[in-house]
Structure 1
């Protein structure tokens, strides 16, 4: 029987996996590095918690995650022309002792079984609209493109500084990075705009990690983002996690399998809701495994949420159990 890590590599490289890769089983995602550990974030039910970027976030009860508060009082950047005066990236200066919890955590991972990956979120686009709001971000792409590019460069340089610290202290062999690039039905911007504003920046970020010991880049975008797949390959993404069922997953596997793999296919709203049942989860797991996983390569069945969790208790675990059942039927 292959290890979880071996089975993942056989799946994404077109080899001989002996079962489905079961959701996030192949990757240990850590958040114990001193930046993540010290950056304030709301817990479930908390409101108006301000982080080191000055972004205020809330996580109301009954919602799947935290999101920025962007009213006039709390929005960080009200005029893109003022960003150099207003936005101050957090200092990445930490004592050596502050790295000890993360070092201890990653040393405890069996790297024959799992990749070890830092959690980096939000990504470049999300950081933009967290700072100024979605509408202003979209308008500024058109009206103030040079200012937006300069701000993206500033955030990219901060991410590279952070990457250097993570790689030198913790030696990860994978990266788990968030940035949502679309809604359920469409991308947030055209392919041309994505390439103009984000491709070079992500090449630099993901290239840095891959030049410093990272073998596997997993990018979370729970969205429709099918037009961006060639660019995802170009910037170094190995697994697109969060791929919604609104994307043509079989066609993407056919066209791009061997260059990138797809993790998701189970839209959270389909199974992760009040009153969920094992029967509906089993039906959805069977659907994705037979539709997307019939050739056993380049696809990982997974609820699209951006961590190994579910909004409602038991959904993630039940989904994993049903994936195991399908592995026994199909392998």
Structure 2
């Protein structure tokens, strides 16, 4: 029987997997709740809200709130909390967190990293937010999108600043954790379309990720998994150009089977089990299981990983993620 790591590689290379990859199983690392390497002194600066708790300000000075019953936290962009109100003045207001921590600051995290069985799973570092998200977290979605049209030079400059921070952060992750895989968040669309036309995306976002993902690949990272739980089928050729190995979060409106047929072998797809269909208070094992079986039937075993579309192992309603896992275990038993 293949290890979880081997089975995933066979899947994304079009080889001979002996079962479906079961959601995030091949990326299980150090965090018992989330399943990935999330702790480090750089990302730990500032505060982060708990579900239903009080808003909190992170290391960039962005205030986040996490209302009870929602999938995650999102920044507050009222007049009191918006960090950047004028893109032309970003140099005055946008200050990246520090990245130059001494070895002793990393030491508490190292025993868990060293305990990872890299023959069984990928040592996976979680990185969020992404370049586009960082932009609209600072200034709000409307101002961000308008900035691409009205102040392109300033948006390019701000993105360059964010990329420089990401590269400094990446250098420290590589130095201390030596991850095999990077799981990187950056939502690029709604359920119906991408936030930017491919031409604009190619101008502003692609060069940034070619630098970031190129750095990781040049420094020992085997897999780049990018999360965007959205429509982004129109961006897949650009994802391939960036160096993404697996697009996680591909919701069913992307026509995932068609993407697999067209791009399988260049990139793989992880998702097609939409939160919007199953992650609700009325879920049952039967209702979840039915969606799982539809997904694996239409997508097949090559270049596809069946998975909840949210960006990490878990669900808004307790038990939904585990119900998917249970169904996939049953499907895999039936294949033996």
- Shift of the alpha carbon at 1:329? 2.9
RMSD (Å) for aligned C-alpha atoms: 0.9
After TM superposition, the structure 1 = structure 2 runs for residues 266-277 of structure 1, keeping only pairs within 5 Å, are 266-277=273-284
Among 194, 203, 213, the alignment partner of 2:210 is: 203
In structure 1, what is the Cα distance between the partners aligned to 2:125 and 2:13? 23
TM-score by length of 2: 0.96
- Shift of the alpha carbon at 1:276? 1.1
Unaligned residue ranges in structure 2 (runs of 5+) = 30-35
Match of 1:37 in 2: 44
After TM superposition, the structure 1 = structure 2 runs for residues 1-331 of structure 1, keeping only pairs within 5 Å, are 1-27=1-27, 28=29, 29-293=36-300, 296-330=301-335
- Shift of the alpha carbon at 1:40? 1.4
The answer on whether the counterparts of 2:45 and 2:97 sit within 8 Å (CA) in structure 1 is: no
Per-residue Cα deviation, 1:197-225 (whole angstroms, up to 9, x for no partner): 01111000000000001000000000000
In structure 2, what is the Cα distance between the partners aligned to 1:95 and 1:310? 36
In structure 1, what is the Cα distance between the partners aligned to 2:108 and 2:179? 15
Between stretches 156-165 and 84-93, larger displacement belongs to 84-93
Per-residue Cα deviation, 1:6-29 (whole angstroms, up to 9, x for no partner): 000000001000000000000131
What secondary structure, in the 3-state scheme, does the structure 1 residue paired with 2:182 have? strand
What secondary structure, in the 3-state scheme, does the structure 2 residue paired with 1:223 have? coil
Between stretches 303-312 and 38-47, larger displacement belongs to 38-47
What secondary structure, in the 3-state scheme, does the structure 1 residue paired with 2:193 have? coil
TM-score by length of 1: 0.98
Per-residue Cα deviation, 1:39-64 (whole angstroms, up to 9, x for no partner): 41111112320011010000011111
The answer on whether the counterparts of 1:289 and 1:326 sit within 8 Å (CA) in structure 2 is: no
In structure 2, what is the Cα distance between the partners aligned to 1:221 and 1:233? 14
What secondary structure, in the 3-state scheme, does the structure 2 residue paired with 1:167 have? helix
- Shift of the alpha carbon at 1:169? 0.9
Unaligned residue ranges in structure 1 (runs of 5+) = none
In structure 2, what is the Cα distance between the partners aligned to 1:39 and 1:268? 30
